[in-house]
Structure 1
Amino acid sequence: MNSAVSSLPRLPKFPKPLALPLGLIPTAANSAILANILNRLFAPELADGELDFLEERVMLIEARDARLSYKLTLKNGRISAADSKQTHDLSIDGTVYDFLLLATRREDADTLFFNRRLRLGGDTELGLYVKNFLDALELDDRLGPLLKLLNGATTVIGKLP
């Protein structure tokens, strides 16, 4: 057996029994919920036009271990669910754990992309805009108790086999 392969750390995965029902939720429903949350979270940035680079562009986000997909776009200054038939301009996929690491700032986007834990596809220039936008955000005050919940979830999932 190749020792380099056997020495790679095992990465946490979202539990399959929880992923099964999540995968049954249509992408349109997931996307609408996430769009609503992001519109509230990014309200100041949306008002300032900082997300205009997404106007009429479609971004696909997939948490592959949880069988979750989101298709988002920006229309009239608001994040909204993209039509499921629209092709995406940018895709970002990873595991729930990797997205939690990113959201809680336990790991930076560059490290996650460099180590291929988060994968980018499609328009890389658009991907760079998204990454730079996320890197510049200071959300600790806005997230408040939600950040504690996300940190707890990251810790729990990180301990799973």
Structure 2
Amino acid sequence: MNLAPRFINTLSAPLRLLPTLAHSQALALVLNQVMKDAIAEGELDFLIGRTVGIEISDLGIRYRLGLAGGRIRGHGEGAPAAATISGGLHEFMLLAARREDADTLFFQRRLRMAGDTELGLYLKNFLDAFEPPPQVAPLIRGLDRLLGEEKHQPRRRNR
């Protein structure tokens, strides 16, 4: 029996009490480390002066992120998102664990995009092409284990 969904829902209950700003700043700290090279190479410059939203609909948690001063910054609800990607926790975990690519999740409408389509497509394309640094491989393996024993093939990239 896979206890991960019940565990995650129990764990997320207190997180819903925190404001969007706190969630966003915490995520920004992590993303600045994971995406350090991509930021330095200008791959996220499309976010300069823009705010994107990430909404984990089944948990009721929202993030607002942008790029300023060469760093990903977390924002609160006062920063309206020009584009928003939303979906369930499971879909975001599939994406992070590299089990599914962004194109598949959007095509199957398991992830949804609203707002500025051009900005959303830049973000989707970045997420699909992004190769996490080797240091986060243990985290990705952990996410993969959390997702359970579903049959899957690791996605391959054409470069």
The TM-score bracket by the shorter chain reads: 0.7 to 0.9
Deviation of residue 72 (structure 1)?
A: 0.5
Query: Are 2:103 and 1:84 equivalent residues in the alignment?
Result: no
Residue of structure 2 equivalent to 1:40: 33
Cα distance in 1 for partners of 2:86, 2:5 equals 14
* Aligned-partner residue type, residue 64 of structure 1: S
In structure 1, what is the Cα distance between the partners aligned to 2:142 and 2:19? 25
Segments of 5+ residues of structure 2 without an aligned counterpart are: 151-159
Q: Which amino acid aligns with 1:62?
A: E
Which residue of the partner structure matches residue 42 of structure 2? 49
Asked whether the 8 Å contact 1:31–1:82 carries over to 2, the reply is yes
Greater shift in the superposed pair: 145-154 or 48-57: 145-154
Partner of 1:10: none
Match of 1:65, SS?
coil
CA contact (8 A) 2:28 2:65 kept: yes
- Match of 1:66, SS state, is coil
Given that 1:14 and 1:95 are in contact with CA atoms closer than 8 Å, whether structure 2 keeps it comes out as no
Question: Which amino acid in structure 1 is aligned with residue 92 of structure 2?
Answer: F
Query: Counting helix residues as a fraction of each chain, which structure ranks higher?
Result: 1
Greater shift, 93-102 or 80-89, is seen at 80-89
Larger radius of gyration: 1
Kindly indicate whether the alpha-carbon contact (under 8 Å) linking 2:35 and 2:132 is maintained by their aligned counterparts in 1: no
Q: Shift in Å at residue 87 of structure 1?
A: 1.3
Higher mean C-alpha deviation, range 21-30 or range 90-99: 21-30
Corresponding position of 2:156: none
| 1:147 aligns with one of 140, 149, 152 | 140
Match of 1:108 among 101, 112, 123: 101
* Contact 2:20/2:75, CA 8 A, preserved across alignment: no
Deviation at 1:20, TM superposition (A): 2.6
Give, in angstroms, the shift of residue 18 of structure 1.
Answer: 3.6
8 Å contact from structure 2 (residues 83, 115) kept in 1: yes
So what's the TM-score if we normalise by structure 2?
A: 0.84
Contact 2:52 2:84 survives alignment (8 Å): yes
C-alpha displacement at 1:142, in angstroms? 3.2
RMSD (Å) for aligned C-alpha atoms:
1.8
**Deviation digits for residues 21-58 of structure 1 (CA, Å, limit 9, x no counterpart):** 22111111110010000000111111111100000100
Please tell me whether the aligned partners of residues 34 and 133 of structure 2 are also in contact (alpha carbons under 8 angstroms). no
State whether residues 53 and 85 of structure 2, in contact with CA within 8 Å, keep that contact through their aligned partners in structure 1. yes
Aligned residues: 145
Shift, 1:83, TM fit? 3.9
Contact 1:18 1:66 in 2 (8 A): no
The runs of at least 4 aligned residues of structure 1 exceeding 6 Å deviation read none
Give the conservation status (yes or no) of the 8 Å contact 1:60–1:92: yes
